[in-house]
Amino acid sequence: MDTAAATTSSECSTADFHGDRRLGPELLPSTGPVGRQLWGYQRTGGLTEQEFFDRYYDAATGYWRYPPADGYVTRPDGTPIEIQQTLGTGQRIDRYGSEYGSYLAPEGLPYATRAIPPQSLDSEPAAPCNYHVYKVIRPFTVDAGPIAPWFGQPGYGWQFQLDARHVPGAPARLSVLWLIDNGYLARA
């Protein structure tokens, strides 16, 4: 973790690191669930801020450059290493980011192994550090696999990717919020 930017609080600050929202909160927690997940985290993975932006941010579009193959580790031929996995009743999962997203992870996975941008830690009032935990109420199937290194992070955590093909009646753009609204997930 950026030791100069650590706080003993269990919440992220609302101020941005170096005044740039892309770099996430100025102060990161060292306690609580998010603080534990940030142990050893380096905001830009050892790159300078400019190197980080040059590599991972498209200034022309104003969007992050995400990894190929939906963020999965790939085989030598470029195909993603992924399986179908059923999440069972009572299983706890989480995510950083809004409930309109389609990626989740096993609860408590270290942040650096998720290989997501530091901006994903920007807080919103309902979710400190933009962190959400869910409990599976009704089993459903996801695509799952190891996460590719990206955003200067080591990756190799485990990701769950929502796919409407696996959930009867789901819309083409399946989101966490749809799963909540339709009784598959509950906020924990």
Report the C-alpha gap between 10 and 153 in whole angstroms.
22
**Is residue 84 flagged as an active site residue?**
no
Q: What is the DSSP pairing of strand 28-29 with strand 6-7?
A: parallel
Residue 4 reports pLDDT greater than 60: no
Q: Is 95 a residue of the active site?
A: yes
- Got the DSSP string for 68-89? SGGGB-B-TTS-B--EEEEEPT
Handedness of CA 64, 36, 93, 74 (dihedral sign): positive
pLDDT in tens, 21-76: 999 999 999 999 999 999 999 999 999 999 999 999 999 999 999 999 999 999 99
pLDDT category at 124 given cuts 50, 70, 90 is confident
pLDDT band at 5 (very low <50, low <70, confident <90, very high): low
pLDDT at position 1 over 70: no
Point out the catalytic residue in the list 22, 37, 43, 95: 95
Catalytic residue, chosen from 37, 119, 159, 161, is 159
Residue 148 predicted with pLDDT over 70: yes
Q: Which residues contact 170 (CB under 8 A, 6 or more apart)?
A: 164, 178, 182
Tokens 């380096």 belong to residue: 42
C-alpha span between 151 and 42 (Å, rounded): 10
Tell me which amino acid residue 73 is. V
